[in-house]
């Protein structure tokens, strides 16, 4: 499935609005909204780019979540706020709402084969998001440990 430039840009714009809207809903400070929107655009852009290259759901969601997680780790340190302030709004973009709906719809309709297929895809998306966030968090913790070790050696 190919995506034209306007569709790609519209999806990026809508991801920025989604991240901003979610941030506003949870009373984020207005000065943090542009960075939350930028993280939504980064997350969505990486997801769409990897999906265009490789297809599937697991790897694109993992790559998007990883990119959003790394940006959240960096911006949290720069702006001195907790990582979830930037991480959570960007992950909302990747949540497989339509897949969950279709899974339940097929299940209630009695189309158990289709429900199983959608459920497996939904699980792949969830696993990809979790893997990307976990990997970026581990790298963030490793950075802190390495920096602390270097600083303590420098003090001696």
**Spatial CB neighbours of 57, under 8 Å, sequence gap ≥ 6:** 51, 121, 124, 125, 128
Which residue from 116, 119, 56 is spatially nearest to 64, judged by alpha carbons?
Answer: 56
Res. 152: pLDDT tops 60: yes
Mean pLDDT of 60-78: 94
Where does the pLDDT of residue 135 fall: very low under 50, low under 70, confident under 90, or very high at 90 and above?
very high
Q: The whole model's pTM is what?
A: 0.88
> How much of the chain, in percent, has pLDDT values that exceed 70?
97
CB distance 68 to 135 below 8 Å: no
């Amino acid at each position: 499935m190919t995506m034209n430039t306007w569709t790609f840009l519209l999806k990026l714009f809508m991801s920025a609005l989604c991240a901003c809207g979610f941030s506003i809903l949870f009373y984020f400070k207005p000065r943090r909204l542009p960075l939350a929107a930028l993280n939504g655009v980064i997350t969505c852009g990486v997801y769409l780019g990897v999906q265009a290259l490789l297809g599937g759901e697991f790897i694109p969601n993992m790559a998007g979540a990883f990119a959003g997680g790394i940006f959240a780790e960096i911006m949290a340190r720069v702006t001195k706020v907790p990582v979830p302030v930037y991480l959570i709004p960007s992950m909302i973009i990747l949540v497989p709402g339509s897949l969950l709906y279709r899974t339940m719809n097929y299940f209630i309709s009695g189309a158990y084969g289709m429900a199983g297929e959608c459920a497996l895809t939904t699980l792949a998306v969830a696993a990809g998001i979790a893997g990307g966030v976990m990997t970026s968090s581990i790298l963030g913790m490793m950075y802190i440990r390495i920096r602390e070790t270097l600083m303590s050696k420098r003090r001696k």
